Each structure stands twice: as C-alpha cells, then as structure tokens.
Amino acid sequence: MEPRRSESSVSDTTPWLCVREAATYIRMGRKTLYRAIGCGQLKAARVGGRREIRVRREWLDQYLEQSARN
C-alpha cells in the first residue's frame, strides 16, 4: 500500500491533480473549487464514472488569471 501524501505536498510528476491537491496548489478551499467547477468557471475532468474529479495545473493557472482580472 502506498503511503498517504500530506496535504502540503503536491506531486510534480503529473499535470493532473485531485481536488485536494488542486486546493493546496492554489491555496483555496476545496468547497470553493467544487463551486467553480460546478458553475463552469474552472475546467475539470471526471474519472471513474463521475466519482472523482481531476484538474490540470494549467487550468488552475487560467482560473486564477481570470479571477485576478475581474
């Protein structure tokens, strides 16, 4: 079994992040990210029959850039 990663660590090996890792990456709450995904402000991919959400780092960067302009 693979050891669990702490919330402060974000893997650099893949561009795909789960919501917990994405929240750590952009220093926002998970609920805020879920809301942004739900209303279409943040792109996300659903995997595993809509059970899990993955977000690319560049999508997070775009989301922050758009938020900064508004």
At 30-63, the pLDDT tens digits run: 999 999 999 999 999 998 876 899 999 999 999 9
Confidence tier at 3 by pLDDT (50, 70, 90)? very low
Burial zone of 42 (CB within 10 Å; 0-12 exposed, 13-18 middle, 19+ buried): buried
Residue at 6 is within a domain: no
What pLDDT sits at residue 68? 87
One-letter-per-residue 3-state SS of 36-58? HHHCCCCCCEEECCCCEEEEEHH
Residue at 7 is within a domain: no
Residue at 38 is within a domain: yes
Residue at 25 is within a domain: yes
| Domain with 38 in it | 16-69
User: For the chain, how many structural domains are there in total?
Assistant: 1
Residue 52 main-chain phi, psi, to 5 deg:
-125, 150
